[in-house]
Amino acid sequence: MSSANAIVLLSGGLDSATVLAIARDRGHACHALSFDYGQRHRAELDAARQVATALGALAHRVMRIDLAQFGGSALTDPTLAVPTQGIEPGIPVTYVPARNTVMLSLALALAEVLGACDIFIGVNAVDYSGYPDCRPAYIEAFAAMANLATKAAVEGARMRIHAPLIDLTKSQIIRTGVALGVDFSLTVSCYQADSSGRACGLCDACRLRRAGFADAGIDDPTRYA
Amino acid sequence: MSSANAIVLLSGGLDSATVLAIARDRGHACHALSFDYGQRHRAELDAARQVATALGALAHRVMRIDLAQFGGSALTDPTLAVPTQGIEPGIPVTYVPARNTVMLSLALALAEVLGACDIFIGVNAVDYSGYPDCRPAYIEAFAAMANLATKAAVEGARMRIHAPLIDLTKSQIIRTGVALGVDFSLTVSCYQADSSGRACGLCDACRLRRAGFADAGIDDPTRYA
């Protein structure tokens, strides 16, 4: 068990809540970091705050990044429709350009300031294989870059990027979270949740989440609109 | 000559102005990107705007990133003093944690939205060897990561990170800029310039810049306070 500081990227969704529980279970003092990157809904950030508190994060920071001014994603660009017709092949239009790279870079900055060497991210290569920045090779390349980028690395520390969900199915993630005491009713996964965090039940994220609870044999606590 | 879009990180200083001139000279349609990352002075951003216009950038975006909320650098933290006693060994306190990684990541996001494969950054390993994220190995590692991170890369495009100043001395950079028509009187390098962009003449950045003009045998157009 280590009590070293760790940065945990926390979106307010099911996956990152589980990651926070895993980091805490490994004994880290967890600094949760969320981004307000121009999401079309804000319920996710409200969920992140509740999850951080419920899982005993030492701190929770929300950083605003105006990726919406770049455009290019259905999650930030109101002129693009969120798909509700099932999972399409290829890279989804809900892909936010370079999002994981931007979030990990800012986590790296915070890690350096706090003297932390551990960054946790809830990427998953199974359910979201259409996203290039959710693959193991990407995470390894980011870690290699991080170890050349920072003052800490130059001084002999080793930065570690942990992606503990990367090879898990949604049902395995849910079982892991439940075992670690995550209250999934606090989390919001829906791409178009309403202002009180109720899920649409129709978008890709809702479909994957609902199927995950069914596969896990666990009652789905999601609040649907 | 290519007319392909390129993203050029533009700080308003001498180096990045020269990089913009180089990217333009290579025939790129240049999208300048500046960051308001909580600098203690704002003259640098005013300078960036003037430089972008003077050098014919197609667009100039300024993105706010609140790195100051993390603390840890004399450039963003008012409780740390900017050194004026000459260059010290090791990593300067003016180092902003993971700054180049954060800026390149956001440039990568914009590149992806614009369909650009070229990103230009004015890092320099000669004068600023104390900064880990100014070394060639770091730039190569970032490019390797970028080529795994993006939709464009998955679809077969190749992202290129250009650091054309990386092996140049300050006087070589100045000569290059002058040859390409850069008006260095518009640029601000000083770590603590006043609100109208006048330089202190004392900080590390001022010392390096002044010595560069002297070495190049070119009149220093810097406005000193």
C-beta atoms of A148 and B135 within 8 A: yes
Query: For each of chain B's 225 residues, which pLDDT tens digit applies?
Result: 447 999 999 999 999 999 999 999 999 999 999 988 766 567 888 999 999 999 999 999 998 887 777 766 555 555 555 555 444 445 455 557 888 999 999 999 999 888 899 999 999 887 555 678 889 999 999 999 999 998 777 778 889 999 999 999 999 999 999 999 999 999 998 888 888 889 999 988 899 899 999 999 999 999 998
Q: Cβ neighbours of residue B26 under 8 Å, at least 6 residues apart?
A: B1, B2
- pLDDT above 70 covers what percent of chain A? 84
Between the alpha carbon of residue B30 and those of residues B6, B54, B57, the distances in Å are 5, 12, 5
CA-based nearest residue in chain B for residue A149 = B133
Find the chain B residues whose C-beta atoms sit closer than 8 A to any C-beta of A.
61, 63-67, 69-72, 91, 95-102, 104-106, 108-110, 112-113, 132-133, 135, 137-138, 141-142, 144-146, 148-151, 153-154
Q: Cβ neighbours of residue A114 under 8 Å, at least 6 residues apart?
A: A5, A7, A31
Q: Can you give the pLDDT at residue B89? A: 47
pTM of the shown model: 0.88
Instruction: Name residue A20's amino acid.
Output: L
Summarize pLDDT for A189-225 with one digit per residue, the tens.
888 888 888 999 998 889 989 999 999 999 999 999 8
Whether pLDDT at A164 is above 50: yes
- Whether the CB-CB separation of B100 and B210 falls below 8 Å is answered with no
Half-sphere exposure for B21 (CA within 13 Å, toward CB): 23
- Whether the CB-CB separation of B170 and B209 falls below 8 Å is answered with yes
Question: Please, what are the domains in chain A?
Answer: 5-216 (3.40.50.620)
Cβ-nearest to A141 among B69, B104, B145: B145
- Whether the CB-CB separation of A203 and A84 falls below 8 Å is answered with yes
- Please tell me which residue, A119 or B192, carries the higher pLDDT value: A119
Its ipTM equals 0.87
Cβ-nearest to B154 among A69, A102, A132: A132
